[in-house]
């Protein structure tokens, strides 16, 4: 039984789209006619994916899931499979529960692959953007160990903690971002529209202007004449840098530099090591062999230089080295993390210790990020207040001089 996507006309002549499961497209057409629909297009969802793959812009249209959606689907699957339902029935129930048409189609396609004899992990591989490598490897480990429901529950916990951390960071960034946008908008409005009108008044008086006023007028003229060009130039530079960073050698040098900058280094190391520890923890606890878990966890790390160091550590572990010594040789992992891993290896509780390391590193990153964001807001207020005060003084000084001349 496969999943078919259809387009049909209802009794009012309007198009309706959806997904049905059947043994053939002919059966789908018959099912649609029984519902009072006139079938126009009936196609297997995998064939639709093949057509999209041939599209040069297919990368932008591949189905994906947000972290929250993936956590919800995982939790629902874990609950249903834990209750004793077969995997294909659990997938069907989750697809019916979903109100999003794309998610509904996605889950039915995964179910059709399972019905064809594929494992759940291999079925998820149909949608790599929706179910990343870490997710599929963990599911595969759960299937091979016979504890799929437990592994899915751990995956749901892991994904939900990721979502909570991301939401906390986004909420903390709302106020600084609003302040930054307001600062730029107010300064652009004052320099682009207010100051030029007042300058015309001063020009008519013919008096000598204070240096502060001359500086503000020059800044205003620059913003008026070249502001749009500068904005477009900044966008072009940003695009060029992003394209440049896609070159492997350039990205490697850039990521290496990030790990040595005074303030950025601590943030970059913290984020990447927290990602690595969290991923390694969930894989190890799910029964994935350590070497395989290191390979997968290394791919999750966003910093390419650190990723290479993890790959070197993976080779050393495969040759018989302990994990903490292999990571220590890279020189980029914090001592606390290495001590805790060494303790876990010595006591035989590496899984639990990795979980503690992941939580500890995540808390450190959130604490540091919270401090930086809390400082960013007042700095924006000071910048905005100082800029507005400078412009106001530049306007008031000529007026005060003019009053003194009149007296």
Whether residue 289 is found in the same domain as residue 149: yes
Is residue 268 within 8 Å of residue 362, measured between CB atoms? no
Residue 59, pLDDT score = 46
65-112 pLDDT, tens digit per residue, is 888 788 888 888 888 888 888 888 888 888 888 777 778 878 888 888
Expressed as residue numbers, the domain containing 47 is 2-60
pLDDT band of 166, cuts 50, 70, 90: confident
Whether residue 17 is found in the same domain as residue 143: no
Question: What distances in angstroms separate CA 296 from CA 152, 218, 351, one per listed residue?
Answer: 18, 56, 16
Residue 236, pLDDT score = 94
Residue 2, pLDDT score = 62
Residue 402, pLDDT score = 63
Whether residue 46 is found in the same domain as residue 139: no
Whether residue 160 is found in the same domain as residue 49: no
Domain count, the chain: 2
Position 355 pLDDT exceeds 60:
yes
Residue 240, pLDDT score = 92
169-178 pLDDT, tens digit per residue, is 777 778 778 8
Whether residue 50 is found in the same domain as residue 147: no
321-351 pLDDT, tens digit per residue, is 888 898 888 888 888 888 888 988 888 888 8
Position 216 pLDDT exceeds 60:
yes
User: What CATH number is attached to the domain comprising 228?
Assistant: 1.20.81.30
| Phi and psi angles of residue 243, each rounded to the nearest 5 degrees, phi first | -70, -40
Residue 207, pLDDT score = 66
102 within some domain: no
Is residue 154 within 8 Å of residue 285, measured between CB atoms? yes
Strand ranges in 114-263 using DSSP code E only, listed in sequence order? none
The set of residues, in sequence order, having a beta carbon less than 8 Å from that of 12 and lying 6+ positions away, is none
The set of residues, in sequence order, having a beta carbon less than 8 Å from that of 341 and lying 6+ positions away, is 323, 324, 327, 350, 353, 354, 357
Residue 403, pLDDT score = 60
98 within some domain: no
> Per DSSP, what are the bridge partners of residue 18?
6
Mean pLDDT of 299-322: 87
Q: Report DSSP letters for 160-227, one per residue.
A: HHHHHHHHHHHHHHHHHHHHHHHHHHHHHHIIIIIHHHHHHHHHHHTPPPPHHHHHHHHHHHHHHHHH
The set of residues, in sequence order, having a beta carbon less than 8 Å from that of 177 and lying 6+ positions away, is none
Q: Among 15, 42, 60, give the residue marking a domain's end.
A: 60
Q: Among 60, 81, 102, give the residue marking a domain's end.
A: 60
Residue 203, pLDDT score = 62
Two tokens, residue 254: 């850039």
Residue 232, pLDDT score = 92
Residue 181, pLDDT score = 83
Residue 53, pLDDT score = 47
Average pLDDT, the chain: 79
Rounded-to-integer distance, Cα 301 and Cα 282, Å: 15
Whether residue 189 is found in the same domain as residue 50: no
Whether residue 281 is found in the same domain as residue 165: yes
18 within some domain: yes
199 within some domain: yes
User: What CATH number is attached to the domain comprising 56?
Assistant: 3.10.20
Who has greater pLDDT, 95 or 20?
Answer: 95
Whether residue 177 is found in the same domain as residue 28: no
Mean pLDDT of 21-31: 75
Query: Of 286, 267, 265, 407, which Cα lies nearest the Cα of 351?
Result: 286
Position 195 pLDDT exceeds 50:
yes
186 within some domain: yes
118 within some domain: no
DSSP character at residue 223: H
100 within some domain: no
Whether residue 43 is found in the same domain as residue 150: no
Two tokens, residue 319: 């040759």
231 within some domain: yes
Mean pLDDT of 55-65: 56
Position 145 pLDDT exceeds 70:
no
Whether residue 252 is found in the same domain as residue 358: yes
Share of the chain above pLDDT 70, in %: 90
Q: Among 17, 34, 60, give the residue marking a domain's end.
A: 60
């Amino acid at each position: 039984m496969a999943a078919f996507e259809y387009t049909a006309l209802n009794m009012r002549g309007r198009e309706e789209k959806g997904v049905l499961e059947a043994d053939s497209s002919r059966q789908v057409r018959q099912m649609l006619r029984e519902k009072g629909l006139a079938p126009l297009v009936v196609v297997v969802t995998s064939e639709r994916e093949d057509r999209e793959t041939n599209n040069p812009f297919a990368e932008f249209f591949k189905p994906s899931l947000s972290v929250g959606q993936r956590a919800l689907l995982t939790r629902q699957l874990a609950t249903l499979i834990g209750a004793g339902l077969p995997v294909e029935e659990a997938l069907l129930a989750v697809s019916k529960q979903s109100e999003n048409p794309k998610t509904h189609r996605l889950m039915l396609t995964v179910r059709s692959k399972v019905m064809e004899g594929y494992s759940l992990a291999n079925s998820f591989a149909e949608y790599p953007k929706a179910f990343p490598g870490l997710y599929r490897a963990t599911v595969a480990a759960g299937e091979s160990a016979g504890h799929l429901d437990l592994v899915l529950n751990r995956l749901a916990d892991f994904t939900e903690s990721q979502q909570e951390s991301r939401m906390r960071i986004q909420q903390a960034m709302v106020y600084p971002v609003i302040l930054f946008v307001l600062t730029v908008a107010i300064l652009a409005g004052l320099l682009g529209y207010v100051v030029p009108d007042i300058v015309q008044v001063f020009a008519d008086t013919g008096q000598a202007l204070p240096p502060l006023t001359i500086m503000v007028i020059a800044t205003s003229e620059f913003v008026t004449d070249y502001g749009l060009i500068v904005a477009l130039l900044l966008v072009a530079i940003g695009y060029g840098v992003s394209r440049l960073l896609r070159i492997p050698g350039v990205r490697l040098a850039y990521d290496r530099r990030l790990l040595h900058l005074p303030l950025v280094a601590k943030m970059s190391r913290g984020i990447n090591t927290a990602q690595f520890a969290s991923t390694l923890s969930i894989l190890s606890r799910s029964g994935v062999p350590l070497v395989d878990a290191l390979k997968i966890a290394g791919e999750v790390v966003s910093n390419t230089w650190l990723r290479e160091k993890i790959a070197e550590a993976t080779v050393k572990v495969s040759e018989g080295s302990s994990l903490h010594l292999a990571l220590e040789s890279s020189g980029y992992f914090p001592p606390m993390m290495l001590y805790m891993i060494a303790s876990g290896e010595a006591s035989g509780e590496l899984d639990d210790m990795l979980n503690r390391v992941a939580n500890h590193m995540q808390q450190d990153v959130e604490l540091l990020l919270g401090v930086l964001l809390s400082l960013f807001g007042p700095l924006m207020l000071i910048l905005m207040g100082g800029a507005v005060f400078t412009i106001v003084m530049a306007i008031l000084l000529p007026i005060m001089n003019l009053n003194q001349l009149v007296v």
